[in-house]
Amino acid sequence: MTLVLGGTPVSRGILIAPAVVLQRDRLDVREVRIPPEAVAGEVSRYEKALRETHKQLRAIRKRIPSQTPDEIAAFIDAHLLMLADKALSDVPVKTITEQHCNAEWALQLQRDGLVAVFDAMDDPYLRTRRDDVDYVVHKILQNLLNISGNQYKDPDGRLASCILITDDISAEEVMTFHGMGVAGLITEQGGAHSHAAILARSLGIPVVAGAHWARRYLRDGDTIVLDGLRGLILASPSEVELDYFRRRQSEIVDYVRRLDVVRSAPALSMDGCTIRLMANVELPEDIQAAEEVNAEGIGLYRTEILYLQQTSVPEEEFQYLIYKDAARILNGKPLTIRTLDLGGDKCLRDNEEAQANKCNPALGLRAVRLSLREQDAFAHQLRAILRVSAEGPVRLMLPMLTSLEELFRIKTLLDEQRQILRARGVPFDEHMQVGGMIEVPAAAIIADQFARHLDFLSIGTNDLVQYTLAVDRMDEDVDYLYNPLHPSVLRLLKMTIDAGRKAGIPVAMCGEIAGDTRFTRLLLGLGLREFSMYPATLLEVKDVIAHSDIAHLEQRLQVLDQLATAEEVLSFVASLNAES
Ligand code: PEP
Ligand code: MG
C-alpha cells in the first residue's frame, strides 16, 4: 500500500528514486576484535580522541560571549568533568585491554551501561543527564571515527541518484550531498526560505522539507516519488501512481522545451519596455548555467560558499582567481559580487556552536556587521573584488546595510584598499560601481538616502520579508506567516523602487520572488526593471514579461495602497496574472 506524507514544497521537480535514510544522530558503531599486539595502539587511539574532545569542549567554552547566562558555561563545565571522569577515561580502556575490542565498541558498551543507570532513576532531572552522557560520547565517537559534525563519506556510492531523507540540512551539506550525486532531499525540519533551500533550488535538486517523522516511516531502498512543487512524498507507490507521475515528468520536459523559443529573444514587454534579466549564482559552475539561459549578467554572486567550503578564511589571491574566472566566462557582461553574508544560518564550521548559543542569530553579527568586525578578512575580499574589476564590468554589492554610518565605514575601508593596490601597482577600475542590498526595513525606509551614496540598489526580499514581518525565515513554525504579499512588504518595495528612480540609479531585485512567475506582473507594475534569479527560472519570467503590458500593469497597481490585507493582495495579484 502507498504511504503518503506531506511537507513544505521547497524546490520543484518530480523524482522517482530509491530512498536512503540518514540517521546521523546515531553513529554506526560495530564490534571489531583486535589482536593482542594491537591493544596498546587501540588504547592510545582512544586516549587521543579524549584529548581531542577535551580541546574542542574547551574551545567552545572559550567562545561563549561574556553576557551569556552562567548556566550555559556550567553545562560545558559539566561535560568537561564527565570527560575526565573514570567512567569515560578508564572503563573503556579496561574494556579494550580485557576484551580485545575496538575503542568505539568499548565506549558504546560503557555508554549503554551509564544510560541504563540514568534511565532507571526516579528523579526526572537526573534522568535528563543521560542526554549529557550521549552528547559527550557522541563527541568522542566523532573524534574516533575522524568525522566532524557535518562531513560525510559515501565509499560505496549508495547516495548516487537517491532521495536522501534526513533531519535537517545546512547549505554546506547541500553542497556535499550534491557532490555525491544525491538526486532529491526530504528533511523532517526546515522550510522554503533558508539558504540551504535557496541553494538546492539553484542546483535543481527537488526538495520537500518539514516532513515530520519521515525517517520513522520511510525505509532504505523504498521507492519514493518526490513532488517538490506540491510538497508530496509517496512511498512504495502503485503502478497507476507511478504512471501518473511519469506523465507529469514528461509534461515538465515538454514545458521546458517550449520555453526554449524565448532563450535568445530580448526580455521585452508587449508594450516595448526592456527588462534586465540577470542571474543569481553561488558556485563558479552556476555561471555556465546563467550563460545557457542568456542572462544579461550576474545580479548576485553569493560568496559565502567560498568560505563555507574552506577550513580557513580564503585569502585575496584565492578569491581573486575565482572571481577572475567568472569574469572570463561572462566575457564583458556585468558581474555583481556580493561581499560576505556570513552569520545567521550561514556560519563557518568552527563558529557553528558559538552561533547556536545566540538567542537570535538573524539579528546578530551577520553580513556587513561581521565584515566590519573582521576587517582583515574583509580587506582581502575587497581587494580581490577591486582587482577583478580590471577584467570586466564588476559591481560590488553590500549585504544587509542598515545605516549610512555602516556604508561610510565600508567606503573608507574600500578607499584604503584602493590605496594599497595603487601602491602595489595593481590595476583596478577606479569607477567600479558600489551598490547596496535593501533587505532590512530600516534601509528601505531611508532608501532615498542610500540612493545618494550608492550606484545601484538591489532588493533582497528573502530577508526583507523576514525582518519586516518579524518571521524567522528558518523557523517552520511561523512559515505560514512568511508572506511577501503582506501590504507592508509591498510598500517597502515601492518606496525603494521609487527612491532609486528619483535618484536616477537602477534598482534590481535578487530575492527569490524575482524568479517566481506568480510575482512577475506585480513587480513590473511596481516599477521594477531589473530582476535577478537562479538561472532555471529565467526563461519562465521572460515568457511572462513577453505577455505583459507594463503601462497597463502600472495603471492597475494604483489601487495597491487600498489593499489592507495579504489576502486582498493575493486575489488582486491572481486577477493580474489571469489577464491575457
Ligand atoms: C535576500 O535576502 O533576498 C537575498 C538575496 O540574500 P540571501 O538570501 O543570501 O540572504
Ligand atoms: Mg539576504
Give 474 Cα–ligand 1 centroid separation in angstroms.
13
Give 362 Cα–ligand 2 centroid separation in angstroms.
10
State the cell numbers at 232. 508530496
Cα distance between residue 463 and residue 461, in whole Å? 5
Q: Among 101, 162, 347, 510, which one carries the catalytic annotation?
A: 510
Name residue 576's amino acid.
L
CATH superfamily, domain 3-21+151-259, is Phosphohistidine domain (3.50.30.10)
pLDDT at 308: 76
Q: Which of 128, 48, 129 is nearest to 89 (CA)?
A: 48
Ligand nearest to the CA of 462: 1
Q: Whose CA is nearest to atom 3 of ligand 1?
A: 460
Closest ligand 1 atom, residue 510 Cα: 5
Ligand nearest to the CA of 338: 1
C-alpha distances (whole Å) from 93 to each of 39, 52, 66, 107, 135 are 10, 16, 37, 9, 19
Give 511 Cα–ligand 1 centroid separation in angstroms.
5
pLDDT at 312: 72
Ligand nearest to the CA of 194: 1
Closest ligand 1 atom, residue 439 Cα: 2
Cα distance between residue 86 and residue 92, in whole Å? 9
pLDDT at 88: 94
Q: Which of 146, 153, 117 is nearest to 133 (CA)?
A: 117
Residue in the structure block whose three cell numbers are 516595448:
272
Q: Whose CA is nearest to atom 4 of ligand 1?
A: 460
Closest ligand 1 atom, residue 280 Cα: 5
Longest pairwise C-alpha distance within the chain: 85
Parse the chain into domains and list their residue ranges. 3-21+151-259, 36-144, 263-578
Q: Give exposure, 165-176, as e/b (b: 16+ Cβ within 10 Å).
A: bbebbbbbbbbb
Q: Are 245 and 225 in contact (CB under 8 A)?
A: yes
**Architecture in CATH for domain 36-144:** Orthogonal Bundle (1.10)
Ligand nearest to the CA of 460: 1
Q: Is 359 a catalytic residue?
A: no
Q: Is 510 a catalytic residue?
A: yes
**Architecture in CATH for domain 263-578:** Alpha-Beta Barrel (3.20)
Closest ligand 1 atom, residue 399 Cα: 6
Q: Whose CA is nearest to atom 7 of ligand 1?
A: 462
Q: Which of 170, 198, 300 to mutate to test the pocket of ligand 1 (most atoms within 8 A of CB)?
A: 198
Q: Which of 413, 416, 397 is nearest to 405 (CA)?
A: 413
Give 523 Cα–ligand 2 centroid separation in angstroms.
18
Q: Which residues line ligand 1 (CB under 6 A)?
A: 198, 300, 302, 341, 439, 460-463, 510-511
Give 303 Cα–ligand 2 centroid separation in angstroms.
12
DSSP collapsed to 3 states, 304-325 = HHHHHCCCCCCCHHHHHHHHHH
| DSSP category for residue 340 | P
Q: Could you read off the pLDDT tens digit of each residue along the chain, which spans 580 residues?
A: 899 999 999 999 999 999 999 876 667 677 888 899 999 999 999 999 999 889 888 877 776 656 556 666 777 788 889 899 999 999 999 999 999 999 999 999 999 898 888 878 777 667 667 777 877 888 898 888 876 555 667 777 889 999 999 988 888 788 889 989 999 999 998 889 888 898 899 889 999 999 999 998 999 999 999 999 999 999 999 999 999 999 999 999 998 888 988 999 999 999 999 999 999 998 878 899 999 999 999 999 999 988 876 767 789 999 999 999 999 999 999 999 999 998 866 655 455 545 555 678 899 999 999 999 999 999 999 999 999 999 999 999 999 999 999 999 999 999 999 999 999 999 999 999 999 999 999 999 999 999 999 999 999 999 999 999 999 998 888 999 999 999 999 999 999 999 999 999 999 999 999 999 999 999 999 999 999 999 999 999 999 999 999 999 999 999 999 999 999 999 999 999 999 8
Give the three-state DSSP class for 187.
Answer: strand
Give 524 Cα–ligand 2 centroid separation in angstroms.
21
Strand partners, 433: 395
Which residues, including other chains, have CB under 8 Å from residue 367's CB and lie 6 or more apart?
Answer: 339, 340, 341, 342, 343, 399, 400
Q: What is the pTM of this model?
A: 0.77
Which residues, including other chains, have CB under 8 Å from residue 477's CB and lie 6 or more apart?
Answer: none
Closest ligand 1 atom, residue 511 Cα: 3
Give the three-state DSSP class for 551.
Answer: helix
pLDDT at 346: 64
Q: Give exposure, 467-493, as e/b (b: 16+ Cβ within 10 Å).
A: bbbebbbbbbeebeebbbbbbebbbbb
Cα distance between residue 399 and residue 371, in whole Å? 10
Q: Among 79, 101, 193, 195, which one carries the catalytic annotation?
A: 195
pLDDT at 119: 79
pLDDT at 263: 92
